[in-house]
Structure 1
Amino acid sequence: MKRIILLGVLSIFGFTACESELDQAPLSNRNASNFYNNETDFEQAIVGVYNALNYHEISQFFLSEVRSDNIYIAGLAGVRDWIPVSNFSRTLITNPLIANAWNDPYVGILRANTVIEKLNENVVPDENVRNRMEGESKFLRAFFYFDLVRFFGGVPVIDKIITPTEALAISRSTPQEVYDLIVSDLEDAIALLPETPSEQGRPSSVVAKALLGKVFLTMSGPTYNISGPGLGVDNTSKALTLFNDVIRSGQYGYVNDYASIFGSRSEDNADIVFSIQHINDGVGGNRGIGTTLPTDMYHEPWARVNMPFGGGVPSDGLITPSNQILASFEDADVRDDFSILRNWVDANGSTSNEAMITKFLDLADIPVDRFNWGINFPVIRYTDVLLMKAEILLKSGPSQEVDNIVNSIRSRAGLQPLSNVDLDTLLSERQKEFFGEGLRFHDLVRTGKVIDVINDWEDIDDTANVMNPMEANFIIYPISQTQIEVNPGLYEQNPGYN
């Protein structure tokens, strides 16, 4: 997949970052009417859809990881975009991180809609190839909408090519209506895709089952009396069936060494169900084929000593693991030393105790510049599938099967087994296992724990007293002011923000 990503970025498509939800007519030098002529054209077009995934890890890091009890940012002197996100500010409507989390998925939706609508047997006569292309496009469209519904609740559902003028009249759908499209697309993807991926980084029917299982589990979460990602319906039996299908497929399994799950030389391993592919091409320049994620995690004062280029989180907005997460790791837990650097020596030779995230920092594969780290980003891991299955099983209470799942993961981390694992224990294991991967806030929301857990944590960790109390309205984000102003009155702002 990494080879194909490069081809797509350099192709004649010319998609740019300025595309937005309101730019639903495809814009390029070679337009839709004269591009989709053969299978090669469609392969390049689909690579353009994959390339739109590059926003995902950045949005998940800043809007889920940073939003959670995993990260504490005092930010008393800073004006960085992530500080008000972390502190549950009510004034986020002009925040660029919020705008990007809305706009970027719609770029991918535009591209997917175009492929789906143009695809036909005249230009792609091979039915198997055509089915794969449609399946991949629908999987990706569902992926984009799943991000949107988790961050914003109801959003406009656009499932075909439309003009910018037509887009101005499309209001927000309900979360249920968004999920209807997501579920339909993933069910189609399951039917259309091959059982094994055609190439690393592409989905198969089994991958689509894993994502649909997570969708059903998310839908089953509580509503909190808001129009958010939880519908308060019980789809957990559907999710369990899908997770069991993934497990029984035999395509994935345990990786004994935790660190090797994430290394750039071993990243397509048995624990990775689906990941976003990146390239360190050794050239440099922000061409959209690498990731900036490690740079968004490590500290700029550390980088001055240890990196050959600038970048990193500046001192006025350091993103640091919370005291709570630091204290939660047992002494023998290998995930601690791999995921977190607790202290380091600065340019003056002094020891800094400002801990930082190093999970995706591969010093054996440093790029030419800070924009092009080649490390892939795991979206769904086999470990995640197992622990989501255990979460469902806990609806019937603790069991040996749940203990076995949790203890197999603890064993890899170098820890002793537990018994009678309950939901709080399971969430604690998920917190440490997936630290830095953008899952924590979603986990708390889905399990009904987010308000109590965040507020209890704030009472202890918010030593600078900069955080607003967690409330239900903060489960989703506001609609960006840029969207509100395009057609005043079209979108009603999410409650809790001003």
Structure 2
Amino acid sequence: MKKNIFIYSLALSASLFLTSSCDSKLDVAPTQSIDENAALSTSRDVEVTLIGCYDGLQDGDVYGGGFQYSSELLGNSDELGFGGTFQNLLEMFNKEITTANATALTTWRDSYVTINRCNNVLTALDILDEDKKARVEGEARFIRASLYFDLVRLYAKTWGDGDNAVNPGVPLVLTPTRGVTDADNVPRNSVAEVYALVIEDLTKAKSLLPEENTIYATKYAASAQLSRVYLMQSNFAAARTEANEIIESGAFELNATFSSLFFTFLTNGGANPDEYIFSMVVTQQDGVNDMTTFFGAAIDDIPGTSGRGDIRVLAKHRALYEVGDQRGAFFISPSYTLTQKHLDTFGNVLQFRLGEMYLTRAETNFRLGTAVGAMPVEDINAIRTRAGLKATATVTLASILRERHLELAFEGHMLHDIKRNKLAVGTIPYNSPKLILPIPQREIDVNPELVQNEGYN
């Protein structure tokens, strides 16, 4: 039986913050920092630090929502409305982002904090018990690669927009930073270099991770992320291979109904549906779901819902659904229309699900003229019939991309699908500087090696 993958946010153990003392328990030397040899001296210390990596990954500005809502707001073209007061989100909605944008700053900062934790783990693998080395290395590499992938997608030109070997990506920091000096003022690596590191880390992680890993990352999570990476690169054969492996593994299955994919806490006791490959879990004790914060609202008739109701679904999007499409009915209108995907206060923050893999396999098979695993029309019909629609006899690339847009709406794919398909956001072309986040001004101020993105002063 498959075990769903999710993350519990846990605070770092006190074992990372030890103090030294003399014989008397009252004679304690004040300590502001601790030598790494003391902090990471046992296998347990390294494992606790790995928990800190997951804790950072789940941060609300990272995989707890920041990466996802940034993509949806930047990629929006009159399908979403914004009624909130947060200036940082309003700037992304209007495509008028400043270098002081709070989301650009906190997503960058919190991602690099988490990357640094991963680097600490990866430099201490020899301390681990032998039977834990492979798994811990795989998890740390998966987290580090995932962060670099989403950073380069938001803060740099997209893959294929000009010369990947020349376009500035994001700085690759692969060793722990334990004290800031001039040596830490590193420049931005190229987009090509960042992608190469991401693929190297994820490929290694996939080879090291188990198929089942209780609440942590598995080989399937690494494979799902690889499918996204390859799709962004238009490496359709490789993306197809990864998606097909997950589908054919039998470790996951499509939910019988579309609506059962959500409300993970309210109707599923906090457990992930069988379709989820990887997600961040939010409990009543810990964790944050910023997709609910901004897409959700407290609905009187549905206890346990919450949110600000800032991001609203407009008629242009709702008109895209066919009559009878259950996905087109999965909205609620207290005084404005909201998606029901993100109403659950303690709902898990979805990262990868099997439906995405079916859509990726359908698209890549169609582009390549192949039928690995299934014909493209078969995969699309698996998604359509689950949504209550009649099976279609034929598909085109446009119809496949339309199904992807409707099935994965509001899950963080909008901007990246537009960019990889070289489309436009309204009148803004896919490669406009307006669709790239600025390097935070604070980072530019302290690191003279960093070059700001085009279009920002």
TM-score, normalization: structure 2?
A: 0.83
Q: How far does residue 408 in structure 1 lie from its aligned partner after superposition? A: 0.9
Q: How far does residue 278 in structure 1 lie from its aligned partner after superposition? A: 2.0
Aligned to 1:409: 383
Aligned to 1:180: 196
Aligned to 1:246: 246
Aligned to 2:137: 134
Q: How far does residue 197 in structure 1 lie from its aligned partner after superposition? A: 2.2
The gaps in structure 1 that reach 5 residues or longer are 15-26, 221-234, 282-287, 345-351, 363-372, 457-467
Distance 1:443 1:37, change over 3 A: same
Q: Which amino acid aligns with 2:296?
A: Y
Deviates more, 1:419-428 or 1:430-439: 419-428
Q: How far does residue 48 in structure 1 lie from its aligned partner after superposition? A: 0.4
Distance 1:245 1:3, change over 3 A: closer
Q: How far does residue 109 in structure 1 lie from its aligned partner after superposition? A: 0.4
Are 1:82 and 2:89 matched, yes or no?
Answer: yes
Q: How far does residue 8 in structure 1 lie from its aligned partner after superposition? A: 3.5
Aligned to 1:58: 65
Are 1:430 and 2:404 matched, yes or no?
Answer: yes
SS of 2:278's equivalent in the other structure is strand
**Alignment counterpart, residue 161 of structure 1, candidates 166, 170, 176:** 176
SS of 1:428's equivalent in the other structure is helix
The gaps in structure 2 that reach 5 residues or longer are 18-30, 157-168
**Alignment counterpart, residue 290 of structure 1, candidates 288, 297, 303:** 288
Once residues 74 and 4 of structure 1 are traced to their aligned partners in structure 2, the CA distance between those partners, rounded to angstroms, is 30
Deviates more, 1:263-272 or 1:373-382: 263-272
Q: Which amino acid aligns with 1:140?
A: I
Q: Which amino acid aligns with 1:155?
A: V
Count of residues in Structure 1 that have an aligned counterpart in Structure 2? 418
Q: How far does residue 330 in structure 1 lie from its aligned partner after superposition? A: 2.3
* 1:253–1:382 CA contact under 8 A, matched in 2: yes
Distance 1:310 1:125, change over 3 A: closer
Q: How far does residue 45 in structure 1 lie from its aligned partner after superposition? A: 1.0
SS of 1:474's equivalent in the other structure is helix
Deviates more, 1:169-178 or 1:184-193: 184-193
Q: Which amino acid aligns with 2:293?
A: T
**Alignment counterpart, residue 95 of structure 1, candidates 94, 98, 101:** 101
1:73-96 Cα offsets, whole Å, 9 max, x none, are 366x9563211201111x421110
Aligned to 1:199: 214
Distance 1:248 1:376, change over 3 A: same
Q: Which amino acid aligns with 1:384?
A: E
Aligned to 2:323: 331
Q: Structure 2 matches for 1:224-263, cutoff 5 A?
A: 235-262=235-262, 263=264
Q: How far does residue 311 in structure 1 lie from its aligned partner after superposition? A: 5.8
Are 1:105 and 2:143 matched, yes or no?
Answer: no
Aligned to 1:448: 422
Distance 1:384 1:207, change over 3 A: same
Q: Which amino acid aligns with 2:250?
A: G
Distance 1:496 1:394, change over 3 A: farther
SS of 2:319's equivalent in the other structure is helix
Q: Which amino acid aligns with 1:192?
A: L
Aligned to 1:479: 439
Distance 1:56 1:115, change over 3 A: same
Q: How far does residue 298 in structure 1 lie from its aligned partner after superposition? A: 2.6
Q: Which amino acid aligns with 2:338?
A: M
Distance 1:303 1:413, change over 3 A: closer
SS of 2:87's equivalent in the other structure is coil
Aligned to 1:210: 224
Once residues 366 and 302 of structure 2 are traced to their aligned partners in structure 1, the CA distance between those partners, rounded to angstroms, is 45
Q: How far does residue 307 in structure 1 lie from its aligned partner after superposition? A: 7.3
The RMSD of aligned alpha carbons is 2.9
Aligned to 1:439: 413
Distance 1:113 1:28, change over 3 A: farther
**Alignment counterpart, residue 81 of structure 2, candidates 70, 73, 78:** 73
* 1:4–1:47 CA contact under 8 A, matched in 2: no
**Alignment counterpart, residue 44 of structure 2, candidates 33, 40, 44:** 40
* 1:49–1:112 CA contact under 8 A, matched in 2: yes
* 1:13–1:48 CA contact under 8 A, matched in 2: no
Q: How far does residue 269 in structure 1 lie from its aligned partner after superposition? A: 2.6
Aligned to 1:494: 453
* 1:473–1:495 CA contact under 8 A, matched in 2: yes
Aligned to 1:370: none
Once residues 295 and 81 of structure 2 are traced to their aligned partners in structure 1, the CA distance between those partners, rounded to angstroms, is 12
Distance 1:487 1:69, change over 3 A: closer
* 2:258–2:387 CA contact under 8 A, matched in 1: yes
Distance 1:9 1:322, change over 3 A: farther
* 1:142–1:181 CA contact under 8 A, matched in 2: yes
* 1:410–1:416 CA contact under 8 A, matched in 2: yes
1:303-359 Cα offsets, whole Å, 9 max, x none, are 69977998614xxxx421132211112231222333x21x22xxxxxxx3x212321
Once residues 401 and 340 of structure 2 are traced to their aligned partners in structure 1, the CA distance between those partners, rounded to angstroms, is 22
Once residues 246 and 87 of structure 1 are traced to their aligned partners in structure 2, the CA distance between those partners, rounded to angstroms, is 38
Once residues 113 and 158 of structure 1 are traced to their aligned partners in structure 2, the CA distance between those partners, rounded to angstroms, is 8
Aligned to 1:275: 279
Once residues 186 and 2 of structure 1 are traced to their aligned partners in structure 2, the CA distance between those partners, rounded to angstroms, is 17
